[in-house]
């Protein structure tokens, strides 16, 4: 797929160890302003001992340490601008798209879509028959929903998370 910006060379490739710190930075940038920990912080103040940014860094670090092979990055003119982590349910032949984000200054150039399309081709090559991804229904995830639907996903279940103070 052609990039929306003709001056930039966008390459989608497997992540390498030296990409990890940039992936954590992009994750922190995104999930400091959206997602469950952010929502909790907005409503109740910081819940627990760590900020949403610290939590996402820990979560992503754990996933990268276990699963670097299942991580894609988008490189723009040699700089890591986005990432996507995936996993496989080999029994049900479902490829799962997990955490993925593009750094603010690179959004809207088709990078998120290219990362998802690449993950879908990896799934097919691995013999997966289905693909799945979870996302939120709020405005912060509107771009993500657009990307998934552009790539062929259809909504399966819309769900609610309940929470209360004890
Ligand atoms: C989701 C994300 C990875 C998409 O990256 P991206 O490189 O900007 O994606 P693309 O440029 O390929 O496509 C974005 C699409 O969303 C659309 N979009 C952007 N903001 C939107 C909004 N508020 N409402 C509806 N559509 C929107 C764009 O117009 C574009 O669609 P188009 O190609 O039809 O014009 C990026 O927005 C991001 O990092 N978001 C924060 C993290 C996140 O939500 N990750 C997904 C977790 S499930």
pLDDT in tens, 41-99: 999 999 999 999 999 999 999 999 998 999 999 999 999 999 999 999 999 999 999 99
- Whether the Cβ atoms of residue 92 and residue 102 lie closer than 8 Å to each other: no
* Cβ atoms 119, 84 nearer than 8 A: yes
Q: Is residue 155 part of a domain?
A: no
Distance of CA 137 from the midpoint of ligand 1 (Å): 13
CA distance to 72, 110, 114, per residue, from 117 (Å): 11, 11, 5
Please tell me the total count of domains within the chain: 1
Q: Which of 39, 138, 147, 155 to mutate to test the pocket of ligand 1 (most atoms within 8 A of CB)?
A: 147
Does residue 1 belong to any structural domain of this protein?
A: no
Is 51 contained in some domain? yes
Q: Is 142 in the pocket of ligand 1 (CB under 6 A)?
A: yes
């Amino acid at each position: 797929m052609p990039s929306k910006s003709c001056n930039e060379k966008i390459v989608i490739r497997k992540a390498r160890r030296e990409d990890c710190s940039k992936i954590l930075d992009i994750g922190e940038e995104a999930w400091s302003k959206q997602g469950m920990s952010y929502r909790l912080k907005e409503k109740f103040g910081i819940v627990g001992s760590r900020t949403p940014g610290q939590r996402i860094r820990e979560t992503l670090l754990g996933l990268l340490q276990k699963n670097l092979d299942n991580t894609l990055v988008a490189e723009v003119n040699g700089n890591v601008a986005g990432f996507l982590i995936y996993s496989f349910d080999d029994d049900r032949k479902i490829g799962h798209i997990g955490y993925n984000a593009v750094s603010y200054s690179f959004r809207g150039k088709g990078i998120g879509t290219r990362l998802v399309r690449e993950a879908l081709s990896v799934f097919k090559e691995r013999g997966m028959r289905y693909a799945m991804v979870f996302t939120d229904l709020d405005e912060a995830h509107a771009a993500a929903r657009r990307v998934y639907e552009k790539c062929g996903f259809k909504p399966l279940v819309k769900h609610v998370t309940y929470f209360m103070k004890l």
